[in-house]
Structure 1
Amino acid sequence: MINAQAAGVLMDVEGTTSSVKFVYDVMFPFARRELAAYLAQAWGEPACQAACEQIAADAGHASLEAWSSTADAAPRDLVETEATRLMDADQKATGLKQLQGLIWKNGFDSGEMVAHVYPDVPPALDRWRAAGADLRIYSSGSIQAQNLFFGHTQQGDLLPLLSGHYDTTTGPKREAASYTSIAADWGLAPASILFLSDITAELDAARDAGLQTALLLRPDNAPVEPGHGHAEVSSFGEIEVRP
Structure 2
Amino acid sequence: MARIKPQALLQQSKKKKGPTRISVTTIILCNLVVVLIVFFLFSTYRHWSQRSRFQTDNQFSASEDGNAFMDAKKADVPGYAVLNTSKGFVTVELFKESSPEVVDEFIDLCQKGHFKGVLFNRVIKHYVIQAGTAQGLGATEDWTLRGKHYNQLDMSLNLKHEAFMLGTSKGKRNDKGFELFITTAPIPNLNEQLIVFGQVVKGEEVVQEIEEVDTDENYRPKSSIGIINVSLRQKI
Task: Give the structure-1-normalised TM-score.
Answer: 0.21
User: Which structure is larger by alpha-carbon Rg, 1 or 2?
Assistant: 2
Which structure dedicates a bigger proportion of its chain to strand?
Answer: 2
